[in-house]
Amino acid sequence: MTDSLLDAVRRGTTTYDLARPYVVGMPQSPNHPAYWRAMPRRHGDAVRGDGGSAANDLITLGTHVGTHIDALGHVSQDGELYGGADATTAQVGGAFPDHGIHVFAPALVRGILLDVPAALGLATCEPGYEITPDDLDAALALTGTSPEPSDVLLVRSGWGARWDEGAAYMGLVTGVPGVSADGARWLAANRPRAVGADSIAFERLEAGKGHAILPAHRILLVEEGINIIETMNLEEIGRDGVREFTLVLAPLPLVGATGAPLRPLAVVADTDGRTDG
């Protein structure tokens, strides 16, 4: 922990949990195995001589369900992964030794919230809305800062307010707001450590087309080598007008996996990081 962060902790901090809770039946992409939790051992099934007993759980889920981070091995284009690696060769044995999520080191970095609805004077972006570079410029202007390499850029569309609506949050019929190719290139030009958003797919989905094309994934993961965080909870931090913060990222070190669950934490000194917006 740096001296400046330690000083902030001593003065007092607010921590925002940017992850979604794992609940059976929660919204998710239909392309991945759903989250499920069972309790195979319950109190009383086995009791020790001193009267004590223990309960435990079994969970199953796809690595791209709930709040998670994509590894560079998650997407290929024309048979290639980031750096020109052959996707077929790279996945021999059912794992990605060089492009798996285990190579993403735990990070304590600066996070910047690009609150697009706030910049546009809206509560939320409309279904299927394309977040443009001009929108991102306007959202960046609200922060009063400039991105630096290794920062993490989080794009709030306001879509996260629909999390509790289930199918509406998935937006398979209506579409989902987000960046597409031009927005992804704007983000990549700032050389972030990672990017994130408050929707399942990160990028713009057209109404009725689902995940048919994902240009932002191609640009960020395959062309630029930038990890993507999806299904983030950006409502509370957006409501409080926090634009800049210390961000803690520590995905599960699943060796060779295409992604992993993540619980991002935004830490803000009680006297810093807030705006009047």
CATH H superfamily, domain 3-22+63-269: Putative cyclase (3.50.30.50)
pLDDT of residue 274: 47
What are the tens digits of pLDDT across the range 196-238? 999 999 999 998 777 778 999 999 999 999 999 999 999 999 9
Plot region of 276 (φ>0 → left; ψ -120 to 50 → alpha; else → beta)? alpha
Cut 0.85: pTM above it: yes
**Structure tokens belonging to residue 156:** 């709030």
Token pair 């409309």: residue:
126
Q: Is 167 exposed, middle or buried (0-12, 13-18, 19+ CB in 10 A)?
A: exposed
Q: Which of 40, 100, 93 is nearest to 70 (CA)?
A: 100
- 145, 112 in Cβ contact below 8 A? yes
Please report the sign of the dihedral spanned by the C-alpha atoms of residue 180, residue 183, residue 187, residue 188.
positive
* DSSP characters over 24-92: TT----TTSPPPEEEEEE-TTSS--TTS----EEEEE--TTSSSEEE-TTS--BTTB-GGG-BHHHHTT
The CA-based angle 160-161-163, given to 5 degrees, is 65
Nearest CA to 37 among 66, 70, 71? Answer: 66
Pairing of strands 152-156, 107-115: parallel
Is residue 259 a contact partner of residue 67, using CB atoms and an 8 Å limit? no
Pairwise CA distance, residues 178 & 249, whole Å: 22
Task: Check residue 208 and give its pLDDT.
Answer: 79
pLDDT, tens digit, 9 for 90 and up, residues 43-74: 999 999 999 999 999 999 999 999 999 999 99
The Cα–Cα gap between 22 and 174 comes to: 24
* Helix, coil or strand: residue 119: helix
Q: Cα 76 to chain center, whole Å?
A: 19
Q: What are phi and psi of 118, to 5 degrees?
A: -60, -40
Name the 3-class secondary structure at 103: helix
CA distance 112 to 205: 24
| Sign of the alpha-carbon dihedral angle for 275, 270, 140, 215 | negative
When pLDDT is cut at 50, 70 and 90, the band that residue 4 belongs to is low
Is 60 exceeded by the pLDDT of residue 180?
yes
Distance separating alpha carbons of residues 162 and 200, to the nearest angstrom: 11
67 touches 17 (CB < 8 A): no
**Which pLDDT score is estimated for 8?**
62
Which whole number is the average pLDDT over 8-36? 90
